[in-house]
Structure 1
Amino acid sequence: MNIRTETENDYERVNELLTQAFSGQEEAILVQRLREDGAFERELSMVAEADGIIKGHIMFSRASLLDGDHTHRVAALGPLAVLPKYQRQGIGGKLIEEGKRRCLSHGYPLVFLFGHPSYYPRHGFVQARNHGIDVSQFAVSDEAFMVAELLQGALHDLHGEFRFHPAFENLG
């Protein structure tokens, strides 16, 4: 399994993967918006490829943590997708771990997501609201609103209101 940075030549296959993995177009539209808006750094959009097949994709985009007069630069994970016939083989976990490593190297102290509460904690994600971080941009349960600390001490030092990039708004 080769985890590598997504290239423009991968876009069509990634779109097909997203459509299959999520049974719809919403995530593919989101990824297209994030690309067009320049809301991500190329190295933070990755594919998992084996035998010429793109089996998985993950994208991290720029996000903000608003704390009074301070805005902290953080990352948002999403979407993460694996072709249905390759799920439950550890591909998603490998993409998450490589993505977290790359996000830290790009200076992001925290990564946020809305996700399944039984999956993401295995990869270091915890409930964000338990750490003084809230979100009002979207209605989401405490269990699904999660954060992973990339820079030691960041969850102790950073608090406030999490904001996804505007490309996440008005989907569907």
Structure 2
Amino acid sequence: MDTSTPTTIRSPRPGEETRIRELVREAFGSDEPEEGERVAVLLDALRTYWSAGKGFELVAEADGGVAGHVGMTPAYVDGRDHLHRVLVLSPLSVDDAFRGQGVGTALVRQALAQARDAGYSLVFLEGAPGYYDRLGFVPAGPAGFTKPSRRIPDAAFMVARLDPGAAVSGALVYPEVFWETDTVGLRGALLSRLCPELFTDA
């Protein structure tokens, strides 16, 4: 049975900023309200990039309202010979009422298509492999890339190669805004559970 929701993917319209912030805060703060607010602060900071033409954001419109949001922000891969401009997909948020209905999938696919059209060959993210691997992402470590932080679980560090012929490898370098908002990798109990190697006495 088709459970997808008719969705329009588009750029945000003036006046939708508050709704998008609320959506992001609730999506990331369902279990930890503090985490939701931290990602909402990241969103505020990233919007200065997007509004200046550095990367972009998209929303999913369903049932006459904003049902999802995704951001794409420029970063770099520090390669052996030179820097390579890439994108980081973050954050991706879907309203609880539309979870499991294809809204997130539609957002990611359109974001990747727009990134490809803009000339980017690589898109990175930190996310759940079970979700993103069906959208063209693979583990970035085995693909030749180094994490920007040891606090990112290996399985969560993923990349989509939009140009399979681009022979690029190196260390991913996040833009400063991710560090300023402390939204790189994990901290606390989840970190100790998913990255136990950081807590050994070796």
Q: TM-score normalised to the size of structure 2?
A: 0.79
User: 1:108 — aligned with what?
Assistant: 120
User: 1:160 — aligned with what?
Assistant: 170
5+ residue gaps in structure 2?
1-6, 30-35, 183-202
Which letter does structure 2 place at the counterpart of 1:3? I
1:129 aligns with 2:141: yes
Say whether the 8 Å CA contact 1:39–1:165 is kept in structure 2. Answer: no
User: 2:3 — aligned with what?
Assistant: none
Between 1 and 2, higher relative CO (CA 8 Å, sep ≥ 6) is seen in 1
The counterpart of 1:31, out of the listed 43, 46, 59, is 43
The counterpart of 2:79, out of the listed 67, 79, 86, is 67
The counterpart of 1:78, out of the listed 70, 81, 90, is 90
The counterpart of 1:170, out of the listed 172, 180, 194, is 180
- Identity between Structure 1 and Structure 2 (%): 36
In structure 2, distance between residues paired with 1:125 and 1:13: 29
Say whether the 8 Å CA contact 1:62–1:76 is kept in structure 2. Answer: yes
Larger Rg: 2
Residues 93-102 or 132-141, more deviating: 132-141
Hey, which bits of structure 1, 4+ residues long, moved more than 4 A? 37-40
More strand by share: 1
How well do the aligned residues superpose, as a CA RMSD in angstroms? 1.8
Say whether the 8 Å CA contact 1:133–1:162 is kept in structure 2. Answer: yes
Residues 62-71 or 30-39, more deviating: 30-39
Which letter does structure 1 place at the counterpart of 2:92? L
The counterpart of 1:95, out of the listed 103, 107, 119, is 107
CA positional deviation for 1:142? 1.3
Q: TM-score normalised to the size of structure 1?
A: 0.92
In structure 2, distance between residues paired with 1:27 and 1:81: 10
In structure 2, distance between residues paired with 1:137 and 1:147: 15
Which letter does structure 1 place at the counterpart of 2:67? K
5+ residue gaps in structure 1?
none
CA positional deviation for 1:129? 0.5
User: 1:14 — aligned with what?
Assistant: 20
SS in 2 for 1:72: strand
